[in-house]
Amino acid sequence: MEFHEVSKWYGNVIGINKLSIKIPAGVTGLLGPNGAGKSTLLQLATGQLYPSQGRVRVLGQEVWNSPGLNRFIGLCPEQDAFYEWMTGWDFVYTCARLGGLNRPAARAAAARTLDAVGMMPNKDRAVRGYSKGMRQRTKLAQALVHDPDVLFLDEPFTGTDPVARRELMDIIRRLGAERKSVLVSSHVLHEVHTLTPNIILLNRGRLVAEGHVRQIRDLIDKHPHHIVLSCDDYRKLAGHLLTWDDVEGVRVQAREKAIVVETHAPDAFYSRLPELAARGGFDIKEVYSDDDNLEAVFKYLVSK
């Protein structure tokens, strides 16, 4: 997918503001607070909206007004709008046929996809009787049934219980491994975190950050890295670390027998650490960074 200086506004209200981005193969997470423009981006990418400015391309072609491209695109929308009287099987089979498969191919594809999402035991019940998790799985099935190259998933895990979520995540990761492009938009950060380290962060219609989470974190220099070290002799360790140049501050967590080190040069810090732990006389039991994750990146980049 490629967005080239795309803007979209509705009347006076801005949806997307001069967005330029190339989304590679593999699984990418699309994040942002409410009103950031995530749904607008997805609608532009699937050709449901025409950009006010700029060009949107998927698989090399402009996506507006090219229905043939939908053969290669799969969309799992956020809204919950089924034909309630259809059975799960009917629904997925019809979507397969609409996707261009002939009857035997559609039947095989529907069976394969429903089996993959775990809906085979319930395929002959009307959608009206499905729980939220089952509806989500059926929605995912219809997005996958025509074996698309590009997949857009809008909040795919709402209402699913952890067992189903595990299975669906495995499917998505497998698709990413097959070098298909999957764009997953979600509010639940830790779900995106387990799926993929590559993210796109939007705020107020503009692109705030894109790439690998940890690389982004390294680039945020307004907030120093917080690295937690756990050691029995934590106060002595704290004193020793304060003699290092790149350490800017140390906070003591007495209850956990740990210290939190602040530094703007994590690379230098980490490279000296194994020597200290192995031969410096300190038995460092744990080391981790509690803000090297998606939640911290999100908070630092998006908070007002």
Partner 1 sequence: MLFHLEGVTKTYGAITALDNLSVTVPAGAVGLLGPNGSGKTTLIRTLLGLIPVDNGTGAVLEMDFHTRQLDIRRMVGFAPEDECLFPGVAGVEFAAYAGELVGMRTKDAMQRAHEVLDYVGLGEARYRRVETYSTGMKQRLKLASAVVHDPKLLILDEPTNGMDPAGREEVLELARDLAHNKGMSLIFSSHLLPDVEAVCDHVVVLGAGRLLAEGRIKDLKQFHPGCFEVRLKAGPAAFARRLNNLGCTTESREDDLLLVRVPDGHSQQTIWQAAADAREQIRFLRPQRSTLEEIFLKAVERP
Q: Which stretch binds partner 1 (CB under 8 A): 9-17, 98-106, 130-138, 141-149?
A: 130-138
Per 3-state DSSP, the chain is made up of helix, strand and coil in percentages (nearest 5) of 40, 30, 30
- Under a CB-based contact definition with an 8 Å cutoff, are residues 42 and 185 in contact? yes
| 163 touches partner 1 by CB under 8 A | yes
Residues 6 or more apart whose Cβ sits within 8 Å of residue 114:
88, 89, 92, 120, 123, 141
Q: Which of these ranges, 60-68, 88-96, 127-135, 257-265, lies near partner 1 under the rule CB under 8 A?
A: 127-135
Binding segment (CB under 8 A) for partner 1, from list 9-17, 53-61, 162-170, 240-248: 162-170
Please state, in angstroms and rounded to a whole number, the distance separating the CA atoms of residues 161 and 94: 27
Residue length, the chain? 304
Residues 228 to 267: which contact partner 1 by CB under 8 A? 267
Residues 281-300 that bind partner 1 (CB under 8 A): 283-289, 292, 295, 298-299
Site residues (CB under 8 A) for partner 1, limited to 18-37:
32-34
Does 190 contact partner 1 by CB under 8 A? yes
88 DSSP 8-state letter: H
- Is 161 a residue that touches partner 1 (CB under 8 A)? yes
Taking CB under 8 A as the rule, does residue 221 contact partner 1? no
Do 139 and 81 contact (CB within 8 A), yes or no? no
**DSSP-assigned beta bridge partners for residue 154:** 185
**Start-end of H helices in the chain:** 38-45, 88-98, 103-117, 132-144, 162-177, 189-195, 213-219, 234-241, 266-279, 294-302
Binding status of residue 270 toward partner 1 by CB under 8 A: yes
Rank residues 14 and 169 by Cβ distance to partner 1 and give the closer one: 169
Span of 174-182, 231-239, 254-262, 276-284 interacting with partner 1 by CB under 8 A = 276-284
- The residues of the shown chain that bind partner 1, judged by CB under 8 A, are 32-34, 131-134, 158-166, 173, 187-190, 194, 197, 267, 270-271, 273-275, 277-279, 283-289, 292, 295, 298-299, 302-303
